[in-house]
A = this chain, B = another copy of it.
Amino acid sequence: MHCIRCRAPANVEVRRHRSAFCAACYPGWFRNQVERAIGEEEMFTRQQRVLVAISGGKDSLALWHALLILGYEADGMYIRLGIGGYSKRSQEASERFAARHGLTLHQVRNQREGKPCAACGTVKRYHFNKVAVDLGYDVVATGHNLDDEAATLFGNVIHWQTDFLGRQGPVLEATHPKLARKVKPLYRLAERDTAAYAIVERIEYILEECPMAVGAKSLLYKDALNRLEESQPGLKQRFLAGFLKRGKEALAGADPVTIRECAECGQPTTAEVCAYCRMRERKRRQLEQRAAAGS
């Protein structure tokens, strides 16, 4: 197999594109994909300020790295979730990357709220949005890749969550003054593409997955899609692209959404009280009950 650009022996194969690249040409192809996603979906410009959600893993660091080389103004933000050694190592990787490249990395501390990954998602969405709006960033960029997006789509389709389906996409517009615009510049790049980019570019990311994610349904969906991709290369990309082109618009009308401000914290939400405040209230009551039972 040879690099489709320079005919040197290939290091990285991208089967769904029937392409292969040597280590010298690959990063250029990768960043070109990122640039095309940003341009075609009108995610942001070089005049805007981008806040990148950083976890210390390959996707978020590869994204930050690519944005810098492409000449975008991108700061990072890391949330300390206190998940034992995993959080410690992911924080170190994030700080090391920022220090090495002389970048700004904002940090917020929020203990994880129990096991479910949904709670972690709520915490992250809350803080990334709040910091972006408070500090005047134009947009929040996350490292969600093709596999993440296809798995989320798969889960939402399996359960026909038409409310989520109507909103899923590479760009989530800010439909309220306190809501940051959210974009996913890696949505057309597979998990193995970002891993290859991180390796070729010598990005020191943490390899381990969050220990809380073990048994998460999203991993089952990824596994199911990976098996189908084996026999039908490109299936994941076509699944996501077909949804964005044909499915999404039809489904978006099914559940129109109204954004208002949370009665507790003032942050934007579709409910009376936002998911973050409801979660904290549940936690507070649990602690009260435990204290009462102990006394």
Contact = CB atoms under 8 A, between A and B. Distances in A.
Interface in A232-248: 232, 235, 238-239, 242-243, 245-247
Interface stretch (A33-41, A105-113, A220-228): A220-228
A250 interface: yes
Given A246-B254, A254-B250, A228 B158 contact: yes
A18 to B, nearest CB: 19
Contact of A239 (B158, B231, B251): B158
A159 interface: yes
A12 to B, nearest CB: 26
Interface in A199-221: 217, 220-221
Nearest to A249: B254
Contact of A251 (B221, B228, B242, B251): B251
A162 interface: yes
A160 interface: yes
Nearest to A252: B250
Interface residues of A, number: 27
Contacts of A231: 220
Mostly, the A contact residues are helix
A83 interface: no
A246 B221 CA distance: 21
Given A157-B157, A162-B250, A254-B250, A228 B220 contact: yes
A242 B228 CA distance: 23
Copies in the complex: 2
Contacts of A245: 160
A253 interface: yes
A228 B239 contact: no
A166 to B, nearest CB: 9
A160 to B, nearest CB: 3
B239 A247 contact: no
A17 B171 CA distance: 40
Contacts of A242: 159-160
Interface of A: 157-160, 162, 217, 220-221, 223-224, 227-228, 231-232, 235, 238-239, 242-243, 245-247, 249-251, 253-254
28 contacts: A157-B157, A158-B228, A158-B238, A158-B239, A159-B238, A159-B239, A159-B242, A160-B239, A160-B242, A160-B243, A160-B245, A162-B246, A162-B247, A162-B250, A217-B232, A220-B228, A221-B228, A223-B227, A224-B224, A224-B227, A224-B228, A246-B254, A247-B251, A249-B254, A250-B250, A250-B251, A250-B254, A251-B251
